[in-house]
Structure 1
Amino acid sequence: MERNLSFNLHVLTARLDRAADRILRAQYNVSYSRFLALTLVGELGASTQRALAECLGVTEPSVSRMTAILAAEGLLDVQPDPGGGRRRRLSLTDKGKQLVSSVQQGFEERLAALVTHSGVPYDEYAKHTAQLLATFDHVEREGTK
């Protein structure tokens, strides 16, 4: 077996991101990056623009522009932080919660079908992916290599 995991992971991730973007734009009129932002706010607790920028790996000005658009579309509520300063608190609106929920279910079903079609057992693939992510999280927290 050829050892090209780093390249293959990059290609797979890029292709999945592009496919996700096409599907979301066509079916839900939202880009994949905006859907990820909504998911991070709703499911993973990125409750400030700074935290969201860190999670997405983008700049705070970029997140500020994105959150303004999502708020204008009625998907995200952006409020000044009660602690003062320039921070903004983020939360999903009911419309945003509904979008995230419906997209997640549809995406999971499509991904499960794709994985199954490839001949890879879905449960094993999901387990190994979670295991890899947990290992990366641990390595990053501990600062080990």
Structure 2
Amino acid sequence: MEPTEFLSTARQLVATGSEGAYRSAVSRAYYGALHACNVLVPAEFAPSQAEMHSDGSHNAIIGAMERWGRSLGAGRTDAQMAAKKIAQLKRWRVVADYRIRQKWDIDAEKWVRVAEEVFRLVEAARSKRDGQVANTAI
């Protein structure tokens, strides 16, 4: 399975228009973005196996993205922006999945778009990195 399948499911859920579907869309969008980050973060920044099998695996992936972003230099890098957006998505995923008695007035479509942006940012960061690595090999 690919992370994009979660995002595709999130888009389908948003189209149905019920609260349960909206909540599920935010959750699926988050997990798609999280898995994309985990797949694309360079190995030297990736969480350890122990971190991935712990209760803090989500934070470990977000932390890996932050470390990668900081390593790229000053300013807001694609990896840093992806880390910030995935952390925002995580907060709304918790609301969607665990705070079911809380009134739902969250724009699920917006958070699916944020997840799409995380995909674009992490793919751009990885593409730049791979291009730089290829150039140093020449």
TM-score exceeds 0.5: no
Q: Which one has a larger percent strand, Structure 1 or Structure 2?
A: 1
Q: Which one has a larger percent helix, Structure 1 or Structure 2?
A: 2
Q: Which has the higher contact order (CA 8 A, sep 6+)?
A: 2
Q: TM-score, normalised by structure 2?
A: 0.30
Q: TM-score, normalised by structure 1?
A: 0.29
